[in-house]
Structure 1
Amino acid sequence: MIYILFACLIILAIILKLPTVKGFIGEKAAQMILNKLNREEYHTLNDLLVPDSNGKTTQIDHVVVSKYGIFVIETKNYTGWITGTENSQYWTQTIYKRKEKLYNPLWQNKGHVNALKALLPEFENARYIPIVAFTGRATLKVTVSSEVIYLSNLNKTIRKHKQPVLTQSDVISIIKKLSNNNLQDKATRKEHVKTLQNENHNRNQKIRNNVCPSCNGKLVERSGKHGKFTGCSNYPKCKFILKDRVARAR
């Protein structure tokens, strides 16, 4: 019986380390926090899958609609130190001496905002407030001007915006349109995941072939103030830099 219990604990630990499971836990934690907002003022939509401007789909963790604007929230459930800048394509996750890369979540969330703008062109006065919220498992060491916060500060960050830009009628119309365009059938959602997996595979395949995944230029060895590194030959037009392994991004 003890061995069975021990085996179950090991399996549970492995499951909890899976990226999809960790992401799900982070999203649910954010959802619980957002539920504490005044529901008469703030209307939350979770796990939206909507068409983007490129004819594909984009998945958005949370959208909060209020008369103060449209809050577009990307949640991250990472451990270790998270370092990066506003304009760097990839950030770095450091756990002891091991480093991995993650696609800049600000860039990721910018894609979400653009998809919403394309979906809601009639609301020209809408203010979009992108927020990237990390759970407390991470230590943020980023240099940014955008809202990159800990999940515990999410509602405080939302409530600090107090300038109305939308009418109540606008808010109702936006919620209705987002709900109607939320793609919920399983086949579409599976296809979305498959597309992301293929894009990630193609990106890594290009890197293995010394091809820049951003512009298809050649990856070459270059020298900088911190020593030699691998970057794109099309610099400064393309600022892609290869550092360690590339983590998957949604």
Structure 2
Amino acid sequence: MIWIVLAIMIVATIILNSPTIKGMIGEKSVTNQLNKLNKEKYIILNDVTIPSSSGKTTQLDHVVISTYGIFVIETKNYRGWIVGDEKSEYWTQVIYKRKERLYNPLRQNYGHVMALKGLLSEYSELPFIPIVCFSFRADLKVKVSSEVIYTSKLVKTIKKYNQEAISASDVKQIAATIGNANITNKDIKKQHVKSIKLDISNKRNKISNDECPKCGGSLVLRNGKFGQFKGCSNYPKCRFVYNSK
């Protein structure tokens, strides 16, 4: 009986530590926070997949539409120190002495905003407010001016934007446009995940072959303040850098 219990605990630990499950937990936590907003003032859309300008699709964790603006929310459920700045392509997750890289979520969310702008191009000068939410498991050490916050601060952050900029009728139309464009087909969503993984794999292959994944130039070894790194030979036209540490 003890062995059965231990086996169940091990399997449960593996499942709970999987990136997919951790992501779902993080998104559910944000959804619970968003449900505290006044439904008469805010329209909440969760897990939205829409076409992007590249002809592919992009998945948005949460979109909140209101007369105060369109809030585009990216959720992260990482633990440990999260270190990074506004312009870096990658941030660093530090757990004790182990370091892992993660794609800058501000850049990721910028892509989401651009996809929404393309979808809502008939509207001029819509105010978009990108927000990146980290769970309490993280210890944020980032140097940014953008909204990078803990999930517990989400509602407060949204409410601080209180200047009306969109009419109530447009809010409903915008929500309907996004809702109608939302791709719910599971096969297409699976293809979206495969596409992301393929892009990451192609990028890694190019870097390993000393090819810049951004412009196709050559990557050369350079010395920087924090050690050696690979940078694009087409600098300053291309500012791609890669640090394997």
Q: Which residue matches 2:242?
A: 242
The DSSP-based 3-state class of the residue aligned with 1:234 is coil
2:152 matched to 1:115?
Answer: no
- Tell whether the 8 Å contact from 1:135 to 1:151 is kept in structure 2 after alignment: yes
- Let me know the Cα RMSD of the aligned residues: 1.2
How many angstroms does 1:52 deviate by? 0.9
Q: Distance in 1 between matches of 2:17 and 2:168?
A: 42
Q: Distance in 2 between matches of 1:94 and 1:233?
A: 30
2:18 matched to 1:18?
Answer: yes
2:6 matched to 1:6?
Answer: yes
- Tell whether the 8 Å contact from 1:109 to 1:130 is kept in structure 2 after alignment: yes
Q: Residues 30 and 65 from structure 1, CA distance in 2 versus in 1: closer, same or farther, beyond 3 angstroms?
A: same
- Range with bigger deviation, 91-100 or 221-230: 221-230
Q: Distance in 2 between matches of 1:134 and 1:10?
A: 26
2:177 matched to 1:177?
Answer: yes
2:222 matched to 1:222?
Answer: yes
- Range with bigger deviation, 232-241 or 57-66: 232-241
2:67 matched to 1:67?
Answer: yes
The DSSP-based 3-state class of the residue aligned with 1:171 is helix
Moved over 4 A (4+): none
The DSSP-based 3-state class of the residue aligned with 1:207 is helix
Q: Aligned partner of 2:2: which letter?
A: I
Q: Which residue matches 1:162?
A: 162
How many angstroms does 1:172 deviate by? 0.6
Q: Distance in 1 between matches of 2:231 and 2:43?
A: 44
TM-score by length of 2: 0.96
- Tell whether the 8 Å contact from 1:73 to 1:109 is kept in structure 2 after alignment: yes
Q: Aligned partner of 1:46: which letter?
A: N
Q: Distance in 2 between matches of 1:2 and 1:219?
A: 55
Q: How many residues align structurally? A: 245
- Tell whether the 8 Å contact from 2:229 to 2:244 is kept in structure 1 after alignment: no
Q: Aligned partner of 1:214: which letter?
A: K
Question: Which sections of structure 1, spanning at least 5 residues, go unmatched?
Answer: 246-250
How many angstroms does 1:47 deviate by? 0.3
Q: Which residue matches 1:248?
A: none
How many angstroms does 1:232 deviate by? 2.2
The CA deviation string for residues 157-215 of structure 1, in whole angstroms up to 9 with x for no partner, is 00000000111100110111111110001111111111111111111111221222222
Q: Distance in 2 between matches of 1:10 and 1:242?
A: 36
Q: Which residue matches 1:100?
A: 100
- Tell whether the 8 Å contact from 2:228 to 2:243 is kept in structure 1 after alignment: no
Q: Which residue matches 1:204?
A: 204
- Tell whether the 8 Å contact from 1:101 to 1:243 is kept in structure 2 after alignment: no
Q: Distance in 2 between matches of 1:128 and 1:28?
A: 23
- Tell whether the 8 Å contact from 1:60 to 1:73 is kept in structure 2 after alignment: yes
Q: Distance in 2 between matches of 1:4 and 1:244?
A: 41
- Tell whether the 8 Å contact from 1:125 to 1:165 is kept in structure 2 after alignment: no
Q: Distance in 2 between matches of 1:23 and 1:232?
A: 33
Q: Which residue matches 1:132?
A: 132
The DSSP-based 3-state class of the residue aligned with 1:109 is helix
Q: Distance in 2 between matches of 1:31 and 1:7?
A: 32
Q: Residues 165 and 96 from structure 1, CA distance in 2 versus in 1: closer, same or farther, beyond 3 angstroms?
A: same
